[in-house]
């Protein structure tokens, strides 16, 4: 079974993007083996730290390197991607020539409470992952407008239409 490294761009305990990531994990459990990549303990990127990479950076890079593909699920912050996600992408690209993103297949997804559901953030993210040399799965796109009746807090998809939508995306 192919392995997928899940990167979530929100650190919040009750994050709707964490919930969407769990829903994707549950919906695609027979298709992929998912591992969640921890980005919450990464220090702010500082090139001075590159000579001896901090432990959380090493762990993140190992987790991504070991996976067959990457799935990024992220909120939109001020019409772009959250700083914590950009920080993780920057760390994973360094030191020069030792990055872990290049050549990895990647898919993007995101949840918001509003109707345009992370479209602008994902558009920015497309530029970044393309620059990093990742193999972007451009279609289908996944812009999820969160409603409590669609996915339960533990990531169980409680709405059949949503289940089908997530399933088609994963396939």
Nearest approach, Cβ of residue 109 and ligand FNR (Å): 11
Beta strands 3-8; 69-73: pairing state: parallel
Lookup: tokens for 123: 């558009």
Pick between residue 99 and residue 117 the one whose CB is nearest to ligand FNR. 117
Nearest approach, Cβ of residue 66 and ligand FNR (Å): 25
- Asked whether 106 and 74 are in contact (CB, 8 A), the reply is no
Phi, psi of 123 (to 5 degrees): -65, -45
Lookup: tokens for 139: 């279609």
Pick between residue 12 and residue 168 the one whose CB is nearest to ligand FNR. 12
Nearest approach, Cβ of residue 157 and ligand FNR (Å): 17
Q: Which residues pair with 93 in a beta bridge?
A: none
Q: Which residues pair with 71 in a beta bridge?
A: 6, 107
Pick between residue 25 and residue 76 the one whose CB is nearest to ligand FNR. 76
- Dist. CA 98–CA 33, nearest whole Å: 25
**Residues engaged in binding ligand FNR (CB under 6 A):** 10, 12, 15-17, 75-79, 112-114
Nearest approach, Cβ of residue 114 and ligand FNR (Å): 4
Number of neighbours of residue 92 by Cβ within 10 angstroms: 25
């Amino acid at each position: 079974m192919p392995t997928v490294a899940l990167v979530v761009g929100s650190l919040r305990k009750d994050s709707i993007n964490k919930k969407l990531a769990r829903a994707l994990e549950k919906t695609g459990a027979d298709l992929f083996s998912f591992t969640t990549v921890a980005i919450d303990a990464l220090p702010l990127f500082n090139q001075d730290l590159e000579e001896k990479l901090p432990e959380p950076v090493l762990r993140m890079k190992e987790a991504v390197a070991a996976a067959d593909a990457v799935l990024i699920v992220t909120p939109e912050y001020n019409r772009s991607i959250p700083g914590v996600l950009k920080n993780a992408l920057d760390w994973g690209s360094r030191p020069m020539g030792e990055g872990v993103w290049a050549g990895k297949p990647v898919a993007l997804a995101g949840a918001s409470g509003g109707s345009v559901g992370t479209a602008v953030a994902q558009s920015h993210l497309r530029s970044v992952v393309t620059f990093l040399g990742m193999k972007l799965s451009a279609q289908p796109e996944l812009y999820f407008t969160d409603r409590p009746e669609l996915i339960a807090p533990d990531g169980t998809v409680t709405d059949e239409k949503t289940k089908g939508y997530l399933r088609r995306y994963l396939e």
